[in-house]
Amino acid sequence: MNSTKDNNKSQNEPAAINVSVKGRTVYIELIDGRIIGFPADRFKILSKATNSQLKEVKIRLNGFALRWEKLDEDITVRGIVAGNFQLPLRKSKRNRKKKLAKI
């Protein structure tokens, strides 16, 4: 009986179909068409990675996770979409965000 419940859960959980990195920002394209970007520096291990290392990301677990093999780092797509980051937004980015909000 729980299999139907589990199937519905996996259908509602966000999954990635594509991942790319530009500079220090990681972008994921979800199966529902959304594209979400997040600063790599919001995660401890990724914040110490070089730009080259960041680009070595792969989609794993049928789109439910991102994996950086050489960094031994896994991040769930669900956590990214929910905004569950390990580190706060850097002050310079916060100021930029405030400026954009005024526009």
Domain count, the chain: 1
Q: Which SS3 state, helix, strand or coil, does residue 20 take? A: strand
End-to-end, the C-alpha distance of the chain in Å comes to 52
Residues in the chain: 103
pTM (predicted TM-score): 0.78
CATH number at residue 24: 3.30.2020.40
Q: Give the pLDDT mean for 61-73.
A: 98
State both tokens at 52: 């080259």
Q: Determine contact, residues 46/60, Cβ cutoff 8 Å.
A: no
Q: List pLDDT tens digits, range 8-61.
A: 455 689 999 999 999 999 999 999 999 999 999 999 999 999 999 999 999 999
Residues 6+ apart with CB under 8 A from 39: 24, 25, 26, 89, 90, 93
Q: In terms of residue numbers, what domain contains 13?
A: 2-102
How many Å separate Cα 103 from the centre of its chain? 27
Q: How far apart are CA 3 and CA 23, in angstroms?
A: 41
